Amino acid sequence: QQLEDERQRQLTNQKLEETDVYGKRRMTLLDLLLNVTIDGQPLSDTDIRQEVDTFMFAGHDTTTSCISFACYHLSRNPAIQQKVYEEIQEIVGPDAARIELTNSTLQDLRYLDLVIKETLRMNPSVPIFGRRSAGDMTIDGVPVPKGMEFGILIYALHNDPELYPEPERFDPERFSEEAIAARRPYSYIPFSVGARNCIGQRYAMLEIKTMLVKVLANYKLLPCEDKNRLLIKTDMTLKPVNGAFVKIVKRQ
């Protein structure tokens, strides 16, 4: 609350000449939230804190979960790991372990993108979404009245063998353009879809890509013993029980 009050005071006293090259003042997330209005009314302190929590905290566990699962799957699929490494060497360059990554470079890592999507298919960071129906409807012959609360089981959807044959097999090619075109819409929704989808999904993908590039540029991932095979649990997010075990070997 103290930080919020102080920033509000600073914004009130902000000098108009503080502009960027486009003639507009740069604004942080907190600045935007303090300035936004809905139907002419500013957000309440509670609303602002909830939005900050969404970005700062809700995005933390989901991102780390995806990175952990991705490292585990890559350790057990050396051919896929090698293909990602070769893409990193080609796109980022031989100094990928040390140089600063740019947004455009990360966007060019297309195969890594497929790997992340397959990770989120097998192990969606949020395995269930809670929703409330906005109106009366019928789904597969089942009446759903307005105001009814229900859960959408993302984990079950993403591991449905009718949609994804051999769902337990890690295969990034499921997300090639041809494969996506052959599947029905909304069969893959790790960030939800529609007006209530994840507001931070683009940022999350950049975080995950950045971490995986740096990990794979520096280390080779190897599988651990079978006794350390992946076990999962569901809290607010899908997580590995006791962690996702991999061996790391420094690249020469």
Residue 143, beta-bridge partner list:
138
Annotated binding site: 198
Tokens of 166: 């051999």
Place of tokens 């899908």: 238
Reported in sequence order, the residue ranges of 32-124 that DSSP labels E, i.e. its strands, are 37-38, 41-42
Cβ(65)–Cβ(239) below 8 Å: yes
Q: Phi-psi bin for 165: left (phi > 0), alpha (psi -120 to 50), beta?
A: beta
Annotated binding site for heme: 198
* CA distance linking residue 16 with residue 148, whole number of Å: 49
Task: Identify the CA nearest to 81 among candidates 14, 19, 172.
Answer: 172
Backbone angles phi, psi at 175, to 5 degrees: -110, 20
Place of tokens 């949609």: 163
